[in-house]
Structure formats: structure tokens, C-alpha cells
Amino acid sequence: MTAASTTLYRPVGQAELDLIAASGYRRFPPRLPDQPIFYPVCNETYAAQIASRWNTAQGAVGYVTRFEVQSDFLAKYDVQVVGSKIHAEYWIPAEELEAFNDAIVGTIEVISEHRAEG
């Protein structure tokens, strides 16, 4: 029997996407020293807002990724709402990112690309 999974999203820039691709689209890269939390988000709308507003700064490209995570792994984390109800995300401590990656079911898929307007 297959364990239940939860669909999550993550807005990323080109450098992070390149590292995801290098993993065979199976893992997110380690956090940088000044990034103590990994923030996967709970819906595509919120991920697209971040990708289009933040990741496109200075002409950069933003991407939205979609992936499945074992629901039993996520159960130990609370959903954090950081604005309106669509702004829901998980806060995964950087030191737990490897375990999070191990709980990904299948591959990380790029579902949209965002470019700066103009």
C-alpha cells in the first residue's frame, strides 16, 4: 500500500533550479548559512506570487515547482499562515532539509516560469 502524500510548491530562481536539476529533480539544495528555514508553500497561487514578484528582480527568471511529500512526515510541522489564508507554508528547519528531501515522493516538477515585465 502506498503512503499518502501531500502536494507542495516551491518558488525558485535559476540557481536553485539548476541545483534541483543536478539532483535528477529529486532534492532541494542545502540552505545557505543565512537561511535557517526552508519554506515550501501549500498552494500554486502563493508560489506564483513569490516567483513573479520576488524571483524576477533585476530581470531574473522565477519558477514554480510542484512535488509530493509523504504526509506522515509533514504531520510533525504546523502550517504557518503569513498573510491572507492563501499565504500558507511550512517552516522546515535547515538541519531537517535532508529528511524532508528523503520524504519527497517521485520528482520535483517545474510547472510555470515567470519573467519580469517590460
Q: Does position 1 have pLDDT exceeding 70, yes or no? A: no
Q: What is the pLDDT of residue 34?
A: 93
Q: How far is Cα 48 from Cα 50, in angstroms, rounded to an integer?
A: 5
Q: What is the pLDDT of residue 18?
A: 96
Q: Does position 2 have pLDDT exceeding 70, yes or no? A: no
Once rounded to an integer, what is the mean pLDDT over residues 5-31?
Answer: 96
Give the tens place of pLDDT for each residue, 30-79: 999 999 999 999 999 999 998 887 777 667 889 999 999 999 999 999 99
Once rounded to an integer, what is the mean pLDDT over residues 4-23?
Answer: 96
Spatial CA neighbour of 100 closest among 1, 13, 2, 10: 10
Give the tens place of pLDDT for each residue, 19-28: 999 999 999 9
